[in-house]
Amino acid sequence: MNSYILTLVISILIPLSLFGEQTKMYKHNLMPVPSKIEFGNDKYRIDSTFIIKISPKNISELNSYATRVLRRLSDRTGLFFVQDFLTEKSNEKSGNLTITATRKGNVVVGEDESYTLSINQKGIQLDAATDLGAFRGLETFLQLLEVDEKGYYFPEVKIEDSPRFKWRGLMIDVSRHFMPIDMIKRNIDGMAAVKMNVLHFHLSDDQGFRVECKSLPKLHELGSDGLYFTHEQIKEIIKYANERGIRVMPEFDIPGHSTSWLTAYPELASAPGPYTIERNWGVFDPTFNPILEETYDFFDKFFKEMSELFNDDYLHIGGDENNGKQWNQNQDIQKFMKENGIKDNHELQSYFNKRLLNILTKYNKKMVGWDEIFQPDMPNNIVIQSWRGQKSLVESAQKGYQGILSNGYYIDLIQSAEFHYLNDPIPSDTPLTPEEQKFILGGETTMWAELVTNETVDSRIWPRTAAIAERFWSNGKIRDVEDMYRRLDRVSFQLEELGLRHNSNYEPMLRRLTNNQDISSLKILTDVIEPVKIYTRHRQGKKYTQQSPYTRIVDAARPESMTARKFNHLVDSFIKENNEEGRLTLREMMLQWVDNHDKLKVIASKSYIIREVLPMSSNLRDLAQTGLQVLDGKMNGRKFSEEWKIEKNKLIEMSKIPYGQTELALINGFEKLFKSVNE
């Protein structure tokens, strides 16, 4: 046995000997999973006398955070704690939970967010080098809460924890559809709960310019439809985020994606105006003119103001999807390129970016951009955000550029938590050397807002973003998908206490669709359908615009059907084991789907909007009827003919057809079940 294996075995056996068999069996609900965790056998019970003590007391943000945690704990348990607000003047001499933080942390890239948490019969001790680390530990502490017949308790545990990546972000697009300040705040709270630390604020695009600009007021006056954040609101958001250890990085997308800018200042465009705010979705032509000195005077004034408003070290300039059409058609631009030896639009955009970099550097900001800004002649003091794939991230790291990954984390594309969870900024087969891997700062999940509103956006962000947050925080070897889903269900429930609406808006949307009729039959169907994936929704019959209704079944449907996932897994288990319990559970589910179609038809007769999914409801009924035949056939030893198989294959293919931009999420299970006949 070599020394490495011996060390590994010892590291496993020692915790088991210290803490007993429960270490093997105990299934915690923590998300993200800590770096090191060892459970014991005891329990620390709490009652209304529970007290938090903080040392030192002079970190106001930690006092406020701990107070909020105390209130959340009270709300979860119903316990009437005597302690109210923790302040510098609090007079507690001892505590059930003692928090020590050496210093106030700076809300910057790379700040220490580590902590240790120890719970035993004597009490609870949370230690951190900074208050930011204490914030992260307090969220772990809350997730550890358990209940039994005797009341609430925390399990005995020792935790040492620190993040894998220093940049763990969520991008929220408020340009396509404006989002109010309460939406931003509740999602900041959700981010803090799962230890994310960057709010990437996408504030401008073709469909809207969303921040007050006092030096260039036409930007928000003409480019926003009156929907924008004032300076005071931006400061409020930054303060709210910073108090939770979260940076706020603004993005102003240029030189393309700039219709709203050029609505206000058409003289800076690469083609004559006038321009109006774009109401459609896609990639559009309007682009800033990179050869005008007035363009850089404009951005000097603009970035000066924004650099003073936003306190983060980083500022994102976008830089993506410039189709170059206006540049190609502008004779002055073509002449400039020829005279300056600029071969193509990529080099011209590099020229533009370098001019902006000089401005941002003057105002002490570091430039971030989408991977289109990665050009051979760009200085390597910029950060590349990769949305097109691992290739550009790897290439930029190999050339000494810092980078963050977003490819694979586009939550607007309605992919599964499993898909996102198994995507990794530094996969196990990375070609990067250990030194090159240091250039990968982390990743960001992106919530583009073409197809969401304030009513639906939380359901697209959560709970899948919690799984992504674990990928950014936890050891890359933690990849147990089934256990992730188990814990994700628990975290999803806990996130509701922060005001997030990913679950609570579901049934009200269905009630609206039924015109306040009984929603049970519609819910049975909607529970097993999902919106179509990737960008398919834009191509299926409906031309979506900024003013379209986002209140249909496709909007109410969850990105990932947990009912369908359960069914598909039950089918796998039943085919493998042919057990009676699985057969009965599947039979119960399918009987419900058989009966549901006629009930839904009654509701649809009074609600026209539901009729677009009736064919899918009919297909579900037919699939379930066939599934019952298979279950009974397996029990009775019936053999099915080749004609039967051909007919049922046709049913499967017909059932794959989307209706209302939604699709049945159980097709995989039914297809496997049908193929298992005669086995």
What does the CA dihedral 618, 624, 626, 628 come to, rounded to 10 degrees?
Answer: -150
Report in angstroms the alpha-carbon separations of 368 from 108, 255, 257, 374, 602. Answer: 15, 14, 16, 10, 54
| pLDDT (average), residues 297-319 | 98
Contacts of 576 (CB under 8 A, 6+ apart): none
In our burial notation (b when 16+ CB lie closer than 10 A, e otherwise), range 320-355 reads bebebbbbeebeebeebbeeeebeebbbbbbbbbbe
Encoded amino acid at 255, one letter: P
Q: From 119, 111, 70, select the one nearest 90 (Cα to Cα).
A: 70
Residue 338 pLDDT grade (very low, low, confident, very high; cuts 50, 70, 90): very high
In CATH, the number for domain 171-498 is 3.20.20.80
Structure tokens at 259: 């219709």
Cα 407 versus chain centre, distance: 12
Could you give the angle at which helices 614-636 and 642-655 cross, rounded to 10 degrees? Answer: 150
Q: From 624, 626, 623, 618, select the one nearest 677 (Cα to Cα).
A: 626
Q: Output the pLDDT for position 19.
A: 35
Residue 160 has pLDDT above 50, yes or no: yes
Q: How many whole angstroms separate alpha carbon 499 and alpha carbon 134? A: 23
| pLDDT (average), residues 334-362 | 97
DSSP state of 210: -
- Residue identified by tokens 């598909």 is 568
Report in angstroms the alpha-carbon separations of 590 from 106, 199, 521. Answer: 55, 43, 14
Residue 601 has pLDDT above 80, yes or no: yes
The strand pairing partners of 171, in sequence order, are 200, 446
Active-site choice (321, 496, 497, 612): 321
Residue 171 has pLDDT above 60, yes or no: yes
Q: Output the pLDDT for position 22.
A: 35
Return mean pLDDT, the chain. 94
Residue 168 pLDDT grade (very low, low, confident, very high; cuts 50, 70, 90): very high
Cα 72 versus chain centre, distance: 23
Q: How many whole angstroms separate alpha carbon 361 and alpha carbon 352? A: 14
DSSP state of 158: E
Q: Output the pLDDT for position 646.
A: 96
The domains of the chain are located at 16-161, 171-498, 506-675
Q: Could you give the angle at the alpha carbon of 672 between the alpha carbons of 669 and 678, nearest 5°?
A: 140
Catalytic site includes residue 111: no
> Residue 640, CB half-sphere, CA atoms under 13 Å: how many?
22
The strand pairing partners of 384, in sequence order, are 369, 403
Residue 540 pLDDT grade (very low, low, confident, very high; cuts 50, 70, 90): confident
- Residue identified by tokens 């967010």 is 113
Residue 17 has pLDDT above 70, yes or no: no
Q: How many whole angstroms separate alpha carbon 80 and alpha carbon 84? A: 10
Strands 247-254 and 198-205 come out as: parallel
Helix (H) or strand (E) holding 232: helix 231-242
Q: How many whole angstroms separate alpha carbon 176 and alpha carbon 179? A: 9
Q: What is the CA radius of gyration of the chain?
A: 28
Could you give the angle at which helices 181-193 and 131-143 cross, rounded to 10 degrees? Answer: 80
| pLDDT (average), residues 545-562 | 97
Residue 235 has pLDDT above 80, yes or no: yes
- Residue identified by tokens 């002055």 is 332
Encoded amino acid at 672, one letter: K
Residue 24 pLDDT grade (very low, low, confident, very high; cuts 50, 70, 90): very low
How does pLDDT run across 578-598, given as a tens digit for each residue?
889 999 999 999 999 999 999
Residue 560 has pLDDT above 70, yes or no: yes
How does pLDDT run across 668-677, given as a tens digit for each residue?
999 999 999 9
How does pLDDT run across 184-233, given as a tens digit for each residue?
999 999 999 999 999 999 999 999 999 999 999 999 999 999 999 999 99
Q: Above pLDDT 90, what percent of the chain?
A: 91
| pLDDT (average), residues 238-248 | 98
Q: What phi-psi label fits residue 91: left (phi over 0), alpha (psi between -120 and 50 degrees) or beta? A: alpha
Q: How many whole angstroms separate alpha carbon 463 and alpha carbon 447? A: 13
How does pLDDT run across 60-99, given as a tens digit for each residue?
999 999 999 999 999 999 999 999 999 999 888 889 999 9
Residue 3 has pLDDT above 70, yes or no: no
> Residue 661, CB half-sphere, CA atoms under 13 Å: how many?
27
Write down the CATH superfamily of domain 16-161: Chitobiase/beta-hexosaminidase domain 2-like (3.30.379.10)
Contact between 159 and 36 under an 8 Å Cβ cutoff? The reply is yes
Q: Identify the three-state secondary structure at position 355.
A: helix
The strand pairing partners of 117, in sequence order, are 126, 159
Q: Above pLDDT 70, what percent of the chain?
A: 96
Residue 418 pLDDT grade (very low, low, confident, very high; cuts 50, 70, 90): very high
Contacts of 155 (CB under 8 A, 6+ apart): 26, 28, 39, 40, 42, 43, 44, 119, 144, 146
Q: Output the pLDDT for position 8.
A: 37
Residue 464 has pLDDT above 70, yes or no: yes
Contacts of 96 (CB under 8 A, 6+ apart): 44, 46, 49, 50, 51, 52, 123, 124
Residue 10 pLDDT grade (very low, low, confident, very high; cuts 50, 70, 90): very low
How does pLDDT run across 101-138, given as a tens digit for each residue?
999 999 999 999 999 999 999 999 999 999 999 999 99
How does pLDDT run across 387-400, given as a tens digit for each residue?
998 999 999 999 99
Q: Output the pLDDT for position 679.
A: 74
Report in angstroms the alpha-carbon separations of 336 from 339, 340, 348, 354, 654. Answer: 5, 6, 10, 16, 57
Residue 4 pLDDT grade (very low, low, confident, very high; cuts 50, 70, 90): very low
Q: From 197, 203, 68, select the one nearest 141 (Cα to Cα).
A: 68
Lowest mean pLDDT among 412-426, 589-603, 634-648: 634-648
Residue 15 has pLDDT above 60, yes or no: no
This prediction's pTM: 0.95
Going 215 to 219 to 222 to 224, the CA torsion angle's sign is: negative
Q: For residue 413, which phi and psi values (nearest 5 degrees)?
A: -85, 5
Structure tokens at 60: 């106001």
Residue 21 has pLDDT above 70, yes or no: no
DSSP state of 241: H
| pLDDT (average), residues 278-298 | 98
Residue 5 pLDDT grade (very low, low, confident, very high; cuts 50, 70, 90): very low
The strand pairing partners of 126, in sequence order, are 99, 117
Contact between 657 and 613 under an 8 Å Cβ cutoff? The reply is no
Q: Output the pLDDT for position 224.
A: 98
Q: From 535, 540, 593, 536, select the one nearest 564 (Cα to Cα).
A: 593
Contact between 646 and 626 under an 8 Å Cβ cutoff? The reply is no
How does pLDDT run across 366-377, given as a tens digit for each residue?
999 999 999 888
